[in-house]
Amino acid sequence: MRSALADEMRCASQALAGLAAGERLDHALELAGREHALAPASRPVVRDLAYHAARTFGLCRELARLLNAREPAPAVAALQWLSLSQLIDPQRHPATIVDQAVRAARADPVTEGAAGFINATLRTFLRDTPQWLERARRSPEARWNHPQWWIDVLQADHPQAWQSIAEFADRHPPLTLRINPRRTDLPTYLDHLQAAGFSARVVGQQAVIVEPACAVQSLPGWAEGWVSVQDEGAQRAAQWLDVQDGHRVLDACAAPGGKSAHLLELFDVRLTALDLKRKRLAQVGEGLARLGLQAKLVCGDAADPARWWTGPRFDRILVDAPCTASGIVRRAPDARWLRRRGDLATLAAAQQRIVEALWPLLEPGGKLLYVTCSVFKAEGPQVIQSFLGRHRDARELALPAGKPQSAVVPGTEPGLQMLPTARPSEDHDGFFYCLIEKLRP
C-alpha cells in the first residue's frame, strides 16, 4: 500500500526545498521522510520524485520564473518546481498532477494559502506547454539543467563532448553490480539472476547491469556478499592499481568503501582504509563485514599523515580524492546544484595537498593510482601535471585501457579521462585515472 500521491509530493517537495537551501538531497530526503509518516512503499516513489526534480531543476526553476508574477515562499516554490518536473515528465496524467499538487498545498498550513496560485500557474503551463518550454529553454541553465559556471567549465574542457556529457546527467543510472570472486563468478551469477527472473547485461570484467533496477536485498546472494553495487567505471580502480598478493596497500579516501572491498575481493593484501570522516569510515567497516573482508580502518586526514602514520611504507596507494563529482551526475543529480564555482579551485588545491602528502608514504618502486569521479580537467590532468612537474622520482605509467606507454609523451595531458558512457556493452560514469610509479633512487 502506498500513501496518496499528494502526500508523496509534499514529502518530496520538502526535500527539494532542502536542496534549494543547500542540503544534500539524500539528507534532505531523510529529514523529510522522518516528518511525513508515509507508507514504506511510498519511500522509493518520493525518492524518484525528488531525484527527477533535481535532474530537471534548471528547467523547472526557469519555468517558474516565467510563470510567476512574484516570487513565492520557499515551500510553495518547491512544490511548484516539483509539480512542474512531473508535468514535463509524460509518465503521469497532467490532470492528476495538478489535482494532487493542489491537495498537497492544502494539506500544509505553510502552503495552504497558495493552493490557488499552484492551481493557476500549473494550468497556465498546461494550456501552452510547448511555448513555455521553448521560452524557458532559451536559458542555458534550463536547456542543459546545469548551473552556468558548470556549463562554462564543461565547454572549455570538452569542446566536442560537452553537450553529450551534460545530457548524460538527465539519465537514470542503472543498477550496476560487482561480482565478488571470493563467493561466485560471472557466469554462475548470471545463471542465478536468470533463475530468479532478472534480466542482466555484462558491462565489464566483473560488472553486470540488472534491469529493471530493484531493491538490492531481493538480488540472489546479496546478504551472503556475492555482489555489491558499484559503477563499472569505479571498478577499474582495483583492476588498475597493479596490486599483487602480500602488498601493503593504502586506500587513502576510502569511504564508503567500494574500492577497498573490491581490492580485498581480488587480492590477499594488508589494506589500510583511511577516511577523514568517522561516520563514513564506519560504513567501510559495515560493507566489509557483509563481504567477510577485513582492513585496518583509520580515521585521519590524508593531507596530514604525520598524525596517523608511523610506517612502514606502502607498496600501493589509491587516492580516490574528494571532488566535484562532475562525472557521476546521473547518480548524484544534486551535486551540480550544491557546488559553487569557487569549489573547483578549492577541491583541486585539496587534491594536490593529498597526493603531495602521501607521496613519501610510497615505497620506491611502488605505485600510486590517482582517481576522481570528475570530468573537470582542474581535478584530473592538471593536478597530475603539476605533481609530475614537481617530482623527478615520479613517472606516469600506461593504464590497460589507456594510452600505450609509447604514447605517454612529455607535454601532453597525463592520465585517462573516461567520459560518461551508456551503451549496451559499455556503461559507466565519468572518471579520471592516472597511475604513477615512484622511481628507485
Ligand X SMILES: C[S@@+](CC[C@H](N)C(=O)[O-])C[C@H]1O[C@@H](n2cnc3c(N)ncnc32)[C@H](O)[C@@H]1O
Question: Strand 270-275 and strand 248-251: pairing?
Answer: parallel
Q: How far is the CB of 258 from ligand X (least distance, A)?
A: 3
Bridge partner list, 297: 273
| Residue selected from 141, 157, 265, 275 as contacting ligand X according to rule CB under 6 A | 275
214 catalytic, yes or no? no
Backbone angles phi, psi at 91, to 5 degrees: -75, -25
**Residue 72 DSSP class:** P
- How many residues lie near ligand X (CB under 6 A)? 20
By beta-carbon proximity to ligand X, the closer residue of 62 and 251 is: 251
Asked if 137 interacts with ligand X (CB under 6 A), we say no
By beta-carbon proximity to ligand X, the closer residue of 219 and 255 is: 255
Site for ligand X in 40-99 (CB under 6 A): none
d(CA 379, CA 344): 8
| Residue selected from 102, 153, 193, 274 as contacting ligand X according to rule CB under 6 A | 274
d(CA 251, CA 276): 12
Site for ligand X in 244-263 (CB under 6 A): 253-259
Cell of 263: 581490492
Instruction: Select the span of 44-52, 131-139, 189-197, 271-279 touching ligand X (CB under 6 A).
Output: 271-279
Question: Which residue in 435, 330, 315 sits closest to 375, CA to CA?
Answer: 330
SS (H, E, C) 139-194: CHHHHHCCCHHHHHHHHHHCCCCHHHHHHHCCCCCCEEEEECCCCCCHHHHHHHHH
Convert residues 212-251 into a mask of x (bound to ligand X by CB under 6 A) and - (unbound): ----------------------x-----------------
**Residue located via cell numbers 539472476:** 193
Site for ligand X in 371-410 (CB under 6 A): 373
Q: Which of 11, 253, 373, 434 is catalytic?
A: 373
Q: How far is the CB of 112 from ligand X (least distance, A)?
A: 41
Asked if 339 interacts with ligand X (CB under 6 A), we say no
Q: How far is the CB of 189 from ligand X (least distance, A)?
A: 21
385 burial type by CB count under 10 A (0-12 exposed, 13-18 middle, 19+ buried): middle
Asked if 280 interacts with ligand X (CB under 6 A), we say yes
Question: Strand 248-251 and strand 314-320: pairing?
Answer: parallel
Residue nearest to ligand X (CB): 253
| Residue selected from 301, 356, 363, 413 as contacting ligand X according to rule CB under 6 A | 301
Element (H, E) at 376: none
Q: Which residues bind ligand X (CB under 6 A)?
A: 234, 253-259, 274-277, 280, 301-303, 320, 322, 354, 373
Which residues are identified as catalytic? 373
